[in-house]
């Protein structure tokens, strides 16, 4: 019997704990009047926000709130376990008001916001250069900057078990839970409280530490405070897009350009060789041209010389004739013929 009684007592205690869990949901679950809540959050305690009223309402921008009925309203049946559901709050962001028994505004309850979050990697060794999806020179110090609208969550209280988690995946596929700075001190990447819309880690990752191999790292961040990622796990809302970071000594752009140098040199050499080989070609053409010109030029010369020969060289034929011993009388004939020819030429000129 005693054993059975102990089992019953244990079950009863567990049941009471489950009932109490929404109230003890977390350090960031209590919402004050006028506070900001985010789509996807659950287990919120909105007692202080609604002030004893049992309904809330939403008016469109520019509406006469004091004298008109809300455009949308809903009951709050469990003010200590309130859920900001994507439906309908996804369509009705902005200020929600308390509603009295007559359905009229009874003051502001809270503000519903659509969460947003992104992450960047900042090289603090190079004038805080944004190296997200780029190259980080090995040995430089890198901080993480989270841009979001989630910082109002962390003004509700403090916690060491809830917050934003940064994920850094190594080139080998393992994920780090902490990273070392230049002094070797490890810093946790979990449960980070965002204190501003553009939060930067107060420490920097030392990429030259021997435990971090060179290569491409994958980085992202997630916020699951009050179950918001589980209920609204949309990239850019409660989880960032994944980014990459190439950690190595040499600039990848320089290594890509190196092979182009020998290719240009090789092409230039080929062009020079081709020009040298073609040099003898004009020599052959020049050699042929003078030969043709000489032949053509000498053709009209004999014709001109023949026309003037009889006048200048008329005594010349008598010299060979006189040297012949076998024709004593023939010389006279030739002389006579030559004389007649000269007379004929003179007569033709005078005529």
Torsion sign, CA atoms 255, 256, 261, 263: positive
Q: In the chain, what percentage of residues exceed pLDDT 70?
A: 66
pLDDT (tens digit per residue) in 108-141: 999 999 999 999 999 999 999 999 999 999 999 9
| Per-residue model confidence as pLDDT tens digits over 182-218 | 999 999 999 999 999 999 999 999 999 999 999 999 9
DSSP 108-147: EEEEEE---EEEEEEETTTTTEE-TTSEEETT-EEEEEEE
The closest of 104, 97, 116 to 34, measured between CA atoms, is 97
What pairing do the DSSP bridges indicate for beta strands 243-248 and 135-137?
parallel
In sequence order, what are the beta bridge partners of 57? 73, 97
Instruction: Note the pLDDT of residue 351.
Output: 52
**How many CB atoms lie under 10 A from the CB of residue 118?**
16
Cα 343 from Cα 349, distance rounded (Å): 10
* 5-26 confidence digits (pLDDT tens): 443 544 444 333 433 444 345 8
Residue 215's contacts (CB-CB under 8 Å, 6 or more residues apart) are: 170, 171, 246, 247, 248
Q: How far apart are CA 134 and CA 139, in angstroms?
A: 15
Handedness of CA 64, 90, 166, 247 (dihedral sign): negative
Residue whose tokens read 């308390």: 98
Find all residues with CB under 8 Å of 143, minimum gap 6, and list them.
121, 122, 124, 200, 201, 203, 204, 205
Domain ranges within the chain, ordered by starting residue? 23-113, 117-254, 310-351
Q: How far apart are CA 32 and CA 282, in angstroms?
A: 98
**51 contacts: CB under 8 Å, gap ≥ 6:** 33, 98, 106, 107, 109
For range 86-109, the mean pLDDT:
96
How far from each other are the two terminal CA atoms of the chain, in whole angstroms? 177
Task: Dig out the tokens for 248 from the structure.
Answer: 């190595």
pLDDT at 263 over 50: no
Distance CA 80, CA 39 (A): 17
From 39-53, 76-90, 307-321, the region with the lowest mean pLDDT:
307-321
Burial zone of 70 (CB within 10 Å; 0-12 exposed, 13-18 middle, 19+ buried) = buried
Q: What is the pLDDT of residues 272-285, one digit of tens each?
A: 333 443 444 444 33
Q: How many CB atoms lie within 10 A of CB 211?
A: 10
What is the CATH class of 117-254? mainly beta
- Burial class of residue 149 in the structure, from the number of CB atoms within 10 Å of its CB (0-12 exposed, 13-18 middle, 19+ buried): middle
Helix (H) / strand (E) element for 264: namely: helix 260-277
């Amino acid at each position: 019997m005693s054993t059975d009684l102990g089992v019953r007592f244990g079950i009863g205690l567990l049941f009471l704990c489950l009932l109490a869990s929404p109230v003890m949901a977390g350090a960031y679950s209590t919402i004050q009047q006028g506070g900001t809540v985010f789509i996807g959050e659950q287990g919120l305690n909105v007692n202080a926000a609604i002030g004893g009223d049992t309904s809330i309402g939403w008016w469109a921008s520019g509406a006469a709130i004091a004298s008109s009925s809300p455009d949308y309203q809903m009951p709050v049946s469990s003010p200590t376990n309130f859920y900001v559901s994507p439906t309908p709050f996804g369509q009705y962001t902005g200020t929600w008001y308390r509603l009295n028994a007559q359905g009229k505004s009874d003051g502001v309850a809270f503000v519903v916001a659509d969460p947003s979050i992104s992450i960047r990697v900042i090289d603090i060794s190079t004038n805080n250069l944004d190296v997200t999806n780029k190259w980080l020179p090995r040995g430089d110090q890198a901080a993480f900057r989270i841009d979001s609208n989630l910082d109002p969550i962390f003004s509700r209280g403090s916690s060491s078990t809830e917050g934003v988690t940064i994920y850094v995946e190594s080139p080998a596929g393992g994920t780090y839970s902490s990273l070392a700075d230049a002094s070797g001190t490890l810093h946790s990447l979990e449960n980070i409280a965002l204190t501003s819309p553009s939060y930067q880690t107060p420490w920097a990752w030392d990429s030259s530490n021997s435990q971090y191999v060179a290569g491409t790292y994958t980085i992202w961040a997630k916020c699951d405070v009050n179950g918001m990622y589980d209920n609204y796990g949309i990239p850019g809302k409660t989880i960032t897009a994944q980014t990459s970071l190439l950690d190595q000594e040499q600039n990848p752009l320089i290594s890509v350009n190196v092979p182009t140098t020998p290719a240009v040199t090789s092409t230039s050499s080929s062009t020079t060789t081709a020009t040298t080989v073609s040099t003898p070609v004009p020599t052959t053409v020049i050699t042929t041209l003078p030969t043709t010109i000489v032949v053509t030029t000498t053709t009209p010369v004999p014709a001109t010389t023949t026309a003037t020969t009889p006048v200048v060289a008329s005594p010349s034929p008598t010299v060979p004739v006189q040297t012949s011993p076998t024709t004593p009388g023939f010389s006279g004939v030739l002389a006579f013929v030559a004389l007649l020819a000269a007379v004929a030429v003179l007569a033709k000129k005078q005529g």
